[in-house]
Amino acid sequence: MAQTINRTFATRRDADLAVEHLVQEFGIERTDIFVAPEGDANTSGVDTDGADNESAAPSPGERSDGAHNGAIAVSVDVNDDEMSGKIARIFDELGAIK
């Protein structure tokens, strides 16, 4: 039966990692995976990560201009109940926040 599995992630990095697992481990087509802000505003997630973190000297300190306007939503369409369970588990193992 066709299902959509939805989870949200605190950072764009976590969402990207989830997508890569779906593609590389499960062979899911990227066209069946959707990534979007959880709300209406552009966002890089609710937590700082990557370019938002403080860099080593002599770089400037932590950035305060990141678009932290909510979580990153990832959803995937699947037609297999067993695969649905595997996807839900991998999302949760990778730190989905809901």
Q: Tell me the per-residue pLDDT of 38-71, one tens digit each, with 9 for 90 and over.
A: 866 555 555 555 545 555 455 555 545 555 556 8
For residue 73, the Cα-to-chain-centroid distance in whole angstroms is 6
Residue 69 tokens, joined: 């306007």
Say if 58 falls within a structural domain: no
pTM (predicted TM-score): 0.71
Q: Is residue 98 part of a domain?
A: no
Q: Which residue segment(s) compose the domain that 7 sits in? A: 3-50+64-93
Instruction: List Cβ neighbours of 40 (8 Å cut-off, separation of 6 or more).
Output: none
Residues 11 and 94 sit within 8 Å (Cβ to Cβ):
no
Percentage, residues of the chain above pLDDT 70: 67
According to DSSP, the residues that pair with 7 across neighbouring strands are: 74
Check if the beta carbon of residue 76 is closer than 8 Å to that of residue 34: yes
Q: Which residue has the higher pLDDT, 89 or 68?
A: 89
Tens of pLDDT, residue by residue over 16-31, are 899 999 999 999 999 9
Say how many domains are in the chain.
1
In a domain, 59, yes or no: no
